[in-house]
Amino acid sequence: MVSQKLVSRKMVAALAICMSALSSFSHSAFALEDTVNPELFDKMEYRFIGPYRGGRSVAVTGVEGNTNLYFMGTAGGGVWKTENAGLSWTAISDKTFQVGSIGAIAVAPSDPNVIYVGTGEGPIRGVTTSHGKGVYKSTDGGETWKLVGLDKRGQIPKIRIHPTNPDIAWAAVQGNIWGPNEERGIFKTTDGGKTWQHVLKVNADTGAADLAIDPTNPRILYASMWHHGRTPWFIKSGGEGGGLYKSTDGGESWDKLEKGLPKLIGKVGVDIAASNPKRLYAIIEADEGGLYRSDDAGKSWSLMNDDNILKARAWYYNHIKVDPNDENTLYVMNVQLHKSIDGGKTFEIKSLPHGDTHEMWINPENSLNMINANDGGATVTFDGGESWSSIYNQPTAQFYRVITDNLNPYYVYGGQQDNSTMATPSETWGDGIGIEDQFAVGGGESAHIAFNPDDPTLIYATTINGTLTEYNRDTGLTRPIMPYPEYVFGRNARDQKYRTNWNAPVIVSKHDPDTVYYGTQMILKTTDRGVNWQEISPDLTRNEPEKQGLNGGPITNEQAGAEYYNTVFYIAESAVNKGELWVGADDGKLHITRDEGKNWKDITPHKKEAQVNAIELSPHAQGRAYVAVAGYKLNDYTPYIYKTDNYGKRWKRIDEGLPKDAFVRVVREDTEREGMLFAGTESGMFISFDDGEHWQELDLNLPPVAITDMQVKGDDLVIATQGRGFWILDDISPLREVHESLVDEALFQFEPIDGIRLLSGGGMTDQPQAKNPTRGATFRYYLKDALEEEQTLRIDIFNADNELVRTLSSASSAFEKCAKGNEDVRSPIKFKHPSAKAGYNEFVWDLRRKPLNCIENVKLFGGWNGARVMPGDYKAKITVGEQAQTRAFKVLPDPREEADKAQLQVVEKSIQATETLLNDLFAHLQKARDVRAKLNGVSEDNIMLASDVSASIERIVSAIDDWEALVIQPKHQTFEDDINWPNMLDRQVRFLMDNFDRTGAPAQAGALKRLEDLEATWQQYKVQLETLFGEEVKPLNEKLSKQGAFDLESL
C-alpha cells in the first residue's frame, strides 16, 4: 500500500528498470510462465522436522458454551484450533490464507460458526513480523475460509462482531508498518464482509491499535488510534491524531475522548467491563502514562497506576482485559501477566509457561477459564492462571537462520525468536523427532550459529546486543566471548565501540576451524576461541551517525538492539580461496576482500539503502555470487536478487518473474545442478532452472509462511521459516534431473532414494513428534498419462545377483484378499499400491521380500509380510505396457550397526530358512485341509460306504485335526488370544523370523539354535503328515476310486 505522496508500485518498478538501463545492471526478460512443467515434481513434499515449541501468538479467543474449543492466531504460522482445551492444535488456515501473520480472531457471539480473522500482527517488530493481507471469514467453524476484503498491505490487530448479527463487524486496521498509508483506522461491514466502510480515519500515519464494544449496546464502541511508524533505525510511537475515540451510533461518527487523559499519546489498549459498561480501562503510552480508568463511559478519566512495568515497550504490548463478571478485576499484558482485583490500584503477577503476553480471552460463563496469547504461543487455564496448558505442542517457531553439520544424522541449527537457539536432528533412529532430541547451543533467539561441520563440538552463536558465546557440546558449558563486553541496552549505537545487529553474523572458516569471523560494523577475527580478537576491516557500512542515536520516540525510547543500524549483516567465505570474504551490511553496502582483510573493495550492487540479507557464493564458479537484498524496512517490498560472475565488477538483476511484493531473504544455488537456484521470499519458496532467467513456485505442501533462510545439504534442501519451524525437502534429485522435454515421456523414473534397514529403536515420550523420513526405498516416477483401468504399473525389484526379490503392482492381488480375510478387526491391514496417476508419483517400498504364502482361516500374528532384505545393491524396474526403465539404488545398513558381510549372510540365510519353513508349513496345511474337506464331503453326502471306509475317513479327519493343531492354533481369533491358548509352530517360526529381522548381525547363538530346533520339529510334523498321506489317505483314495464315484486327488 502506498500513500498519495508516493508514486504507484508499478511506477516504482518501471523507474527502477529505467535507472538500471543507465547503469551496469541488466534485467532478464519478464517471465510468468513455468519453464519446467510442475507436473514433473509437484507431488514432492517438504517434511516438517520441528520443533513443537510455540512461537509468538497475539490473537486468541474461546467460544462461549464450549470450554474445549479455542482459536489461536500466530505471528507467522497462521490460524490454529484446539478442541481439547490446548492438549493439541490443528492448523486451519493453510489451504486458503495468503499469509501466516495473524493479528485478530473473533467468533460471532450469536453464531459460533462465523469467524472473522484479521491478518498482520499488531506488535510492529523490526524483525520476524510479516505484513497482513486482509480479513478472512469462515461460516463453518473454520473448515473453509474466504477473503472478504481490506487486503491492502497492513496489520489488523482487532475485530469486533455485533452480538446478535454476525454480518455486522468492525475491524481495527493499524496499517502499514514501514510507511504511511491511507487505509488505516476503523472499518465496518454490514453485509458479512462483502463491502467495508471506512468509518474512522485520522491520517496516513495513524491506525487503529485496539477496539472495544459494549456487549449490552453494540452502538457504543471505543477505538484506540495510534500514530506510529518504523524505519530500520527508529520506532515512532505517538503523534498527531493518536488517542481514544468513542462512537455511540455503531461507528458512523466518532468523538475524541480527552478529559483527564495525557495530551501526547502513543499506543493504547482499551477494554470495557461487561458487568458495568460505564467502567472502562485503558493502558496508555504517554509521559504521564499508565493505567487509566473511567467510571462514566469515557467522559472523564483518572490515572490509577503509573508503574512503568505496566506500560514498558508499549509498541510491543499495551493490551488490557477486564473480567466480564467483575468490573474490579482486570489483566494488563506486558512482559508478565499483571492482575488487579481492586480496579487497577494494585497488581500481582500471574505466572505463565512463557513470558511476553499480548492477548487474552476470559470465559463470560466462568472467569477462571481463560486463554492467553504470548511469545510462546497460546495456553489455556481452568483455575484462574494457577496452571496452564503446554506450549510444547505448537509447531509455530520463527527462525532467523539455518545451518547444518555433517553428522549422521545431520543436525539443523537456528535461533528461535522469543526463545533460544536450537539444534535438532534431521531425523532420529526412533519413532520421530521430539523435544527430547533437541538442545540449545548458547547464543540466543536471534542467533547466527557457526561451527566446524565435521566436528561441531565447539559451537559459536550470537544474540541481541553483541552477545557472542562458545558452547562446548561435550561438556555442556557455555562461555561468553564478546570481543569487547559492553552492556549496550539503552545506549546509542554511535556511542558503542562495536555496533552489532540484532541478528549479528558469525562464521567458522572453511579452511581453518580455529578461525572465527564476527561481524559488527567491521569484521573481527579470532584464532584462539575468542580470547583475543583482531579487527581486519574498516567500517563496512554507510556509518550514518544520525541513524545511530535514540531508537524510539517521541515518548518511549527503544534500545533493545533491533534498531541498531549501520551494522554488518552477513558474512560469506569462499570454500575455494582462503581469505576471500564477502560482507553485506544492513544498510545495503557490500564489500569483498581476497587477502583476509588486508584490502577491501566496495562492490555494492543495490544503490538504494536496503538490507543485504544473504550472500551465496556459487559452488560451481569462482567469482560468481548471488545476493538477496531486502528493502522492506524502507517500505520497498520488491524482490531483489543480484548475480555477478566477476567478483562484483558487474551485477545483473535476476528476480523478474517473482511476485512484485515477495521480497527475497535468501537465494541458494544447488551444489550439483549449476544454475538451479532456490529463492526464499516473504511469499514462500521459488525455484529457477535457468540461473534466474525465470522463476516458478516451489511451495509444494508448505503452509503460507515467510522463508528466512535455507541450505542445500547434500541431496536435501533445508529451510527455516518465520512461523512454522524447520522443513526439509528430502532428496531433490528429481529437481536436478527434470527438464521440459521430460513432460512428453510416457514414463520416466527418477533416481530412487536409498532405503535404510533400521534395527529396533524408539523411545518414550508424551510430547508430539515431527516425522522421520521414510525408511524404505522410495521410487519416484513420472507418467505422462494416467493408466486405463485394465492397465497395470509394475515395479520389479532385483538384488545384486539379478534375482527378483519383490514385485509391486498398481493392481490388487489374490494375496491381499487372503490377508484381509485373515486380519484382526482391531488391526486392519492397509495395502499400498504404486500410483498409476498422471504426473509425478512416489512409492515407498518397505524393503520386504515377497509375502509368505497366505492361506485362508489362519490368524498369523505378526502378519504375512516377508522379512526385510539385507543391505546391498539393488535395482528397480518400472514397467508400463511396453515402456520400462531401470534405476539402481542401495539398501543401507543401520548406521549404528557394526557387522561384516559374513555375519549378515548368516542372518540372511536364517531369515530365508524361516520363510521357507513357513511357506512349506502352509503348503502342507492347505493340502491337509483339502483332503479333510473332500473326505467330509464324502460323509456328508450320505453315500453308502463300507464300514471300513467310513472308519478310515473318521480316523483320517481326526488325525488331520490333531496335526493342524500342532502347526497352528485354530482357536486364535484376535491378537490377545496369544495369551489364552498356546502358540503353535507357525507363530513360533514367525516370531523367530521377526527376531532375526529386528536384531541384525551377528545372529544370536540362541536364535540359531532355536531355528535348528524348529526345523527339526517341522521335519517331524512333516513326516507325520506325509506318513498319514501315504499309509492312510492313499489307500482310501484307491478304494474310493475303484467304486467309481469319487476320486481324491493324489497327494
Where do the structural domains in the chain lie, given as residue ranges? 441-604, 899-1051
pLDDT over 70 (residue 245): yes
Model pLDDT, residue 948: 83
Q: What local confidence, expressed as pLDDT, does residue 974 receive?
A: 78
Residue 1044 — pLDDT band, cuts 50, 70, 90?
very low
Q: What is the pLDDT of residue 29?
A: 34
Cβ–Cβ under 8 Å, residues 808 and 833: yes
* Helix (H) or strand (E) run with residue 575 in it: none
Contact 594/527 with Cβ under 8 angstroms?
A: no
For residues 1026, 1027, 1031 and 1034, what is the CA-based torsion angle, rounded to 10 degrees?
Answer: 0
- Asked whether the predicted pLDDT for residue 563 surpasses 70, the reply is yes
Tell me what the mean pLDDT of segment 616-627 comes to. Answer: 99
Q: State CA 1002 to chain mean position distance.
A: 39
Per-residue buried b or exposed e for 607-624, using 16+ beta carbons within 10 Å of the residue's own CB: eebbbbbbbbbbeeeebb
Q: pLDDT-derived band of residue 22, with 50, 70 and 90 as boundaries? A: very low
At residue 942 the predicted structure's pLDDT band, cuts being 50, 70 and 90, is low
Q: Could you tell me which of 305, 307, 308, 276 has the C-alpha nearest to residue 293?
A: 305
The H or E element spanning position 724 is none
**Which pLDDT tens digit goes with each residue over 470-493?**
999 999 999 999 999 999 999 999
d(C-alpha 565, C-alpha 575), whole Å: 29
| Cis amide leading into 364 (omega within 30) | no
| List of E strands, 174-297 | 185-189, 197-200, 206-213, 221-231, 234-237, 243-247, 255-257, 268-272, 280-284, 290-294
Segment 735-753 mean pLDDT: 96
Q: What is the pLDDT of residue 6?
A: 29
Question: Around Cβ 291, how many Cβ atoms within 10 Å?
Answer: 26
Task: Work out the average pLDDT over 347-368.
Answer: 98
pLDDT digits (tens, 9 = 90+) for 684-731: 999 999 999 999 999 999 999 999 999 999 999 999 999 999 999 999
* Tens of pLDDT, residues 983-1037: 999 999 999 999 999 888 899 999 999 999 999 999 999 999 999 999 998 888 8
Phi-psi group of 847: left, alpha or beta (phi > 0 → left; psi -120 to 50 → alpha; rest → beta): left
Q: Is pLDDT at 10 greater than 50 in this prediction?
A: no
Residue 822, pLDDT score:
81
Q: What is the pLDDT of residue 24?
A: 38
- The more confident residue out of 29 and 790 is 790
CATH homologous superfamily, domain 441-604: YVTN repeat-like/Quinoprotein amine dehydrogenase (2.130.10.10)
pLDDT at 762: 63
Q: Read off φ and ψ for residue 783, nearest 5 degrees.
A: -115, 125
Mean pLDDT for the chain? 94
Per-residue model confidence (pLDDT) at position 27: 33
Q: Which amino acid is at 524?
A: L
Q: pLDDT class for 899, splitting at 50, 70, 90?
A: confident
Residues 333 and 385: their CA atoms lie apart, in Å, by 13
In our burial notation (b when 16+ CB lie closer than 10 A, e otherwise), range 526-554 reads: beeebeebeebbeebbbbeeebbbbbbbe
pLDDT tens-digit map of 61-100: 999 999 999 999 999 999 999 999 999 999 999 999 999 9
Quick one: residue 15, left, alpha or beta (phi over 0 = left, psi -120 to 50 = alpha)?
alpha
CA quadruple 848, 851, 852, 858: dihedral sign: positive
| Higher pLDDT, residue 58 or 1048 | 58
Q: Quick one: residue 154, left, alpha or beta (phi over 0 = left, psi -120 to 50 = alpha)? A: left
Find out whether 197 and 189 touch, Cβ atoms under 8 Å.
yes
pTM: 0.94
| Residue 871 · residue 904 · CB < 8 Å | yes
* HEC-encoded secondary structure of 55-98: CCEEEEEEECCEEEEEEEEECCCCEEEECCCCCCCEECCCCCCC
9 within 8 A of 660, measured Cβ to Cβ: yes
